[in-house]
Structure formats: C-alpha cells, structure tokens
Structure 1
Amino acid sequence: MVGMRDVAKKAGVSLSTVSLVVNGTGYVSDDMRDRVQRAMSALNYVPNELARNLYHNRTNMVGVIVPTIRHPFFATFTANLQHALAGQGLSTMLCSTADAENGEAEYVEMLRRHIMDGIVMSAHTAHTPDYWTSIRRPIVAFDRVLGEGIASVGSDHEQGGRLIADLLIRTGARHVVMIGGPRDQFFDLAARGEVEDAFDLEKTTFPTVRYYLTLEQELTKAGIRYEYVEAGEVMDFDGYHRAVNETLDRVGPDGVDAVVSSDIGASFCVREALQRGIGIPRDLQIVAYDGTYLTDLAGMRMTAVVQDFVGIAQSVADHITQVIVNEDAGAAKASLKKDDNPFEPSVLIPVTLALGDTTRAASAAADHS
C-alpha cells in the first residue's frame, strides 16, 4: 500500500512537507505543492481520511435525529438536509428514534466522545433544556426548542395557520376539524410544570403547534366552529386512518365540512371521502400541511401549506456548520439576546399556500400565497 513516505521519496521532499499538503495546514510553496501532488497522482496515493480527520479532531460527520423516516415529511427533510450537508463537506448519520432502542441518547454520547462533529435534533425529547445545554457541543434544533443558546430553525407556522384560516373563512367553512398528534405532547412545558398556561402560544418547545393555535384563534374570531381530533404519534399511520374515518362519519349538511391535517392525514381523508362518495370540495374541503410529494398522489391535487424544504435544509446546514467552526476556533457559542423569546426558533422560514382541487373558490385566495 502506498503511503506518505513513498510520496515523499517520489517527490524528493520531506515527510512533513507531504503531511502539510495532505492535511492542508501550514505554508508550502507552490513548487513544493505541485511536486507532491504530481507524486501522489503518479503513485495513485489516496489520503487516509480517518487519520486526517483525527489530525484535525474532526470526523466531518453530523448526526441527524428524526422520529421516523417512514413519514413523508421527515423523508423529504432528511433528503434535502443530506444534500445541503454534503455541500458543506459533511456526511450524514441518520437516527430514527422510533426504530432505535436508545433514542437520541446514543447519538448524544457519540457527540460527547467526538465520534461525530454535531447533531441536528428534530425529534421529540423528554429531556429538559438543562440536559441539552450541558452537552456543550455543536447542536442545532429543527422544529424544536431545546434550550437557551441552542440555535433552532423552523417554518413560520403562525403564518401557515393564518393562511389556512383566511382560506377557510373566505370559502365559507362552518365546522373545521384539525387532525394531528397527541395534543398534550405539544404542551410539554406545562406537563412538566415549567409554565402555568398550557395554551400559551409563546411557551411550548414544539413550534409546529403554532399553526393549530393560530388557526383556532382566527376561526374563533370569525365565529367558525372547530375541534381538534387526536390521531396518535407521528409514526402511527393507523391512528390517522381511524381519526379520518371517525371525522368523515360526521360530514353532512350540518356537520363537518373542512379538514386540516398533515399530508398523511389529508391524503387518507381524500381517499376515504372519494370512496364514500363525499363531494370534494363541494361537501368537504381538505387542506394539507407540509407540501410533500403526497399532495400530488392522493387521488386529487391537494391544497396545501408548503414548507420550504430546500430553504430549511440549507439554513440548518449553515447553522450546524457555523457552530462546528466556532467550536474549532474556540469561539463562544452565540447566546440569545435579552429580548429574544427562548421558546421561539432562531430562524423562521416562510411557508406558502399551494392551491389545489380540494378547496373551493381557489381563485379568490390566489393572492394570499
């Protein structure tokens, strides 16, 4: 096997010069660099990446923790994030907490032991903010607020709630059902006794809930009836199926006439409604939230609030890269300013409303995307 000593001999330079060229450290004249690179090419020398990473105390590996990759939202997110991280020279190690016995704990331990350079956390965690802030290694949260000083990137879910509310109000909805995950999980801080008001929009570590809460507030102002139907955990597709069927049992002249859910729930709703002969959007309007590939595969092109997966992934990749660079440079972690809300993501990515065939009066709402 060809090693650096062989390259040094071929190029007629010292071993330390070859090391400087391979590791990209220190000053090497252009002439010396050219000689080393020609020798490497002639000998088909491939640098030992592991050794080089150890030299720099880096692995160029980022752990990405999601609840499950079976869900189209997290599949789309991780695909885009992997591409964005690769653009930063970073590889991705994926952890699906639904399929991992130790959840995020194993990855956090790997981060502590410098087996990876950073973690992107986008799954539910039962750990308190003190746990995450005590790790003191590069972490970025996606659609979660982990603790003070830990950057968080997420979509502007309040904007998403307003877009849906405006559409449903303008199209004459009378009884809206929102189908989503366990509602008490959204208010984890209240469940742990850390805040007094369980429905305070500003005090939840789950920014996603803001679209539900904003939608409820706007519907209340408009005098439109609404309710929330729980469908189980994010990976519980059967739970979504049951919730959709129970909701559709109540569709009628004086019953439910609009459903808002994730792409999964909305897709189930379209399929079941068509099988039952329920007119879409005449008798039932359906709005999806996420905007993954499912919105075009449900049997009808769905109206959906679309999250900017490319923008989200790039922002997350930029943030984790910067935190890693800051750590390498010994820079202090960026902390929140005094006027920042510790329960709100550091970066909010705008969402858009894509109009489809599952809502009425599409043209009237077209200017609100």
Structure 2
Amino acid sequence: MRDVAKQAGVSLSTVSLVVNGTGYVSDDMRDRVQRAMESLHYVPNDLARNFSQNRANTIGIIVPTIRHPFFATLTADLQHVLAGKGLQTLLCSTADAAHGEAAYVDMLRRRLMDGIVMGAHTEHAPDYWTSIHRPVIAFDRTLGEGIPSIGSDHVQGGRMIADLLIRTGARHVAVIGGPHTQFKEDDVRTTFPTVRYHLVLEHELAKVGVRYEYIEAGEVMDFSGYAAAVRSVFDRAPDDAVDAVVSSDIGAALCVREAIRRGVNVPDDMQIVAYDGTYLADMAGMPLTVVRQDFQALTSSVADCMMRLIDGKAGDGSVDDGDDSGDAVSDVSSHGAFGIGEAEHLIPVSLIAGATTRE
C-alpha cells in the first residue's frame, strides 16, 4: 500500500479508503490510486482486511441437496444477490456431506463466517441455534424464538391449488411429496412450514367432499422415489383412478411424461399442478400449471436481513423489508391451525396457469 501511495502521490490513508471502500475520496484521487494499483499489480489482502474489520465476508448456506431444482435455483440466486453485497458463500449440502451442519456452525462460532442461512432439516433443539449468538436465518423453516424465518406463503399456495381443483371439478386428488413423518401430526411444532400447503389443500378439499390422498415419494433427493410414486398413480384400477396430481416440479414433470407414455389425456382425464416453478417446469413436455415461488424476493429478503444482522441492526428475530406498502411480504406470528408460532416473513406465491389443468 505504501508503494501504491508513493506512485499515486497520495497518503497511505487515502489508499486505505479506496481499497476498503470507506470514507470520501475525490474521483481524481480514486482514479490515481486505481491506476497505481493496476500499474503495480497490487491485490488487497482480503484476509488481513477482514481480520482488521472483524469480518469474514462469507456466508454459509445449508440446504438438503443441490441436486433438487428448487435448492439449485435458490442457492444460485442467493449466491448472486450476496455477491452483489460483497459477500462470498460457502455451500453445504447435508445429504452429500457428513457433519456439514455442525462444521458450519463451528466455523460461525469461530468467526470464520459472518452468518448462516439454514435451509435444511435439523434435529437440534431451538436453544442450540439461539445459543450461537451469531447471525442465523431460517429459510422455509423455524429454528426457534429469536431466529428470523423467511419463506414463501405456503398457506396461500395451498388455497390457490384447492380453489383451482375444486373449480375445475376434480374428484380424487393425489399429492406426491416427502415422508409423511415431517408433518408431525401428534405435535403442533414442526420445522417444515412447507407442509402447510399440503395441510391447507387437504382441509379445503375435505370441506367440499373431494377425495384427498397423500403418497410418499421418499426424501427430497430421492428422484427414483418420485418416479415410483408417479407410476403407482397410473397403475390404479379404474374404480380408484386419480384425476388430479399435485407435486413438486420433479413429480409433476414425471407425471406429464408418464401420462404421455400411457396415452392419458392431460388435462381432460388428469390434471397436474406443480409446486415451485423452477426451470424444470419449462421442460416437462407441456407447459405446467405451477404455483411459483418468488425466488428474487426470497433471496433479496434473506440477503437484506443477513446484512442487518451482521451490522447489528436486527437482534430480535424480526425482518424489516424496508417496504411499507405491504404488497411484497407479510410478517405473521401464526397461521392459525397451520402455524408454528415464531415471527415469520412470508413472500407471496403466484399461480401460473398452464396446459395441465382445465379452465
């Protein structure tokens, strides 16, 4: 830095301001410093700079697997948004890395990371996460009081699907999803807010006498389980036939392919609704009707909240989106019978009509 200051003809403090992006420096001075840096091939020592600022400028992102289109899309978008704020990301796929969650928490405790976005299932009790006393954001789940939770409004998504299928005359709806144990029906508390769309859909269909059936497809990374579940739907006897299927983009796409292979007319004989709206929804063989999660709003909310937590501006688990209009998000303390209880920041979803449902 002294060499840069000497060649640019400025003080060492001016070079420091330019390198760290802090304080005021005139455009002329900034140009002189940057030209000197280029001439001398000067590269700032980020490790030393972060140490002096007590920052690692690194965020850990924990997800079940990056093989799933939803988590692949989420992590790609989140990495892009965080990079725009000068933050690097370390990705942990819990299905592919033993002890990844504990290792990342240990890195956070030792200040090798500035924060964690927790988007995978955890067996740890809430006090484990609150005892870290470092920035942690729960994505699409709840970790405990004081840990901000950000995710999509799955109650809204469930109602959208129910309204569509009831209006179009569905009689027997099959929902293909993960292990039913995640619902924890004997315990109101669950870390999976995503199950709300299943619960709401079942509740709304039952009110009007539409048959609802849940079919397990294995864990989120078990694509063969989804394929087997889809085949089981089409193998039904005529008196037990399903006329509507709801699943993730993976299950819905597999359902379209199986319908085409077996000569089943979609949507006249079977309606198909996808939940997520990732890139896979555009490659199913025909335009899927989808409940689309707003990845841009989700990742922006996560990144903005993380910056506030790192800067010490939000320590009560609340999420301030900076938007007073109320259109983009909703903050809730419960969702009635489907709620969990901690403060949440919910992003609206949207229903995109495709060729796989009737009008």
TM exceeds 0.5? yes
Give the SS at the match of 1:147.
coil
User: 2: CA distance between counterparts of 1:85 and 1:14?
Assistant: 32
Which residue is 1:216 aligned to? 202
Superposed CA deviations along residues 247-274 of structure 1, whole A, max 9, x for unmatched, are 1112636521111111111111111121
Which residue is 1:65 aligned to? 62
Which residue is 1:303 aligned to? 289
The change in CA–CA distance for 1:335 and 1:81 in structure 2 (over 3 A counts) is closer
Which residue is 1:366 aligned to? none
Which residue is 2:238 aligned to? 252
Contact 2:115 2:135 in 1 (8 A): yes
The change in CA–CA distance for 1:224 and 1:60 in structure 2 (over 3 A counts) is same
Q: How many angstroms does 1:19 deviate by? A: 3.7
The change in CA–CA distance for 1:352 and 1:36 in structure 2 (over 3 A counts) is closer
Which one of 156, 159, 164 corresponds to residue 161 of structure 2?
164
Q: Does 1:334 align with 2:334?
A: no
Q: How many angstroms does 1:241 deviate by? A: 0.9
Q: How many angstroms does 1:42 deviate by? A: 4.0
Pairing 1:257-276 to 2, within 5 Å after superposition = 257-276=243-262
* 28-37 or 256-265, larger mean C-alpha shift: 28-37
Superposed CA deviations along residues 272-322 of structure 1, whole A, max 9, x for unmatched, are 121111111111111110111111211111111111111111111111111
Q: How many angstroms does 1:335 deviate by? A: 3.9
User: 1: CA distance between counterparts of 2:172 and 2:248?
Assistant: 18
User: 1: CA distance between counterparts of 2:314 and 2:242?
Assistant: 53
Contact 2:4 2:37 in 1 (8 A): yes
Give the SS at the match of 1:287.
strand
In structure 1, stretches of 5+ residues that fail to align are: 191-196, 362-369
The change in CA–CA distance for 1:210 and 1:7 in structure 2 (over 3 A counts) is same
Which residue is 1:325 aligned to? 311
The change in CA–CA distance for 1:275 and 1:345 in structure 2 (over 3 A counts) is farther
Which one of 129, 141, 153 corresponds to residue 138 of structure 2?
141
Q: How many angstroms does 1:20 deviate by? A: 4.8
Q: Does 1:227 align with 2:213?
A: yes
Contact 2:272 2:288 in 1 (8 A): yes
Give the SS at the match of 2:174.
strand
Give the SS at the match of 1:64.
strand
Which residue is 1:367 aligned to? none
Which residue is 2:326 aligned to? none
Cα-Cα RMSD: 2.3
Superposed CA deviations along residues 212-237 of structure 1, whole A, max 9, x for unmatched, are 00001100111111111111100001
Contact 1:251 1:284 in 2 (8 A): no
Give the SS at the match of 2:238.
coil
User: 1: CA distance between counterparts of 2:36 and 2:86?
Assistant: 25
The change in CA–CA distance for 1:322 and 1:305 in structure 2 (over 3 A counts) is same
Which residue is 2:328 aligned to? none
Q: Does 1:52 align with 2:45?
A: no
Q: How many angstroms does 1:332 deviate by? A: 6.4
Which residue is 1:358 aligned to? 356
Task: Please give the TM-score of this superposition, normalised by the length of structure 2.
Answer: 0.88
Which one of 104, 108, 120 corresponds to residue 101 of structure 2?
104
Superposed CA deviations along residues 85-144 of structure 1, whole A, max 9, x for unmatched, are 112111111111111011311111111111111111111111111111111111111101
The change in CA–CA distance for 1:45 and 1:284 in structure 2 (over 3 A counts) is same
Give the SS at the match of 2:274.
strand
Task: Please give the TM-score of this superposition, normalised by the length of structure 1.
Answer: 0.86
Which one of 269, 282, 285 corresponds to residue 268 of structure 2?
282
Contact 1:139 1:151 in 2 (8 A): yes
Contact 1:62 1:93 in 2 (8 A): yes
In structure 2, stretches of 5+ residues that fail to align are: 320-331, 335-339
Which residue is 2:346 aligned to? 348
Which residue is 1:241 aligned to? 227
Which residue is 1:204 aligned to? 190
User: 1: CA distance between counterparts of 2:283 and 2:95?
Assistant: 25
User: 2: CA distance between counterparts of 1:107 and 1:5?
Assistant: 37
Give the SS at the match of 2:131.
helix
Q: How many residues end up aligned between the 2 structures?
A: 342
Which one of 246, 255, 278 corresponds to residue 292 of structure 1?
278
Aligned-partner residue type, residue 243 of structure 1? A
Aligned-partner residue type, residue 306 of structure 1? R
Contact 1:204 1:343 in 2 (8 A): no
Contact 1:177 1:229 in 2 (8 A): yes
Which one of 153, 175, 179 corresponds to residue 176 of structure 2?
179
Aligned-partner residue type, residue 237 of structure 1? F
Contact 2:173 2:213 in 1 (8 A): yes
* 48-57 or 153-162, larger mean C-alpha shift: 48-57
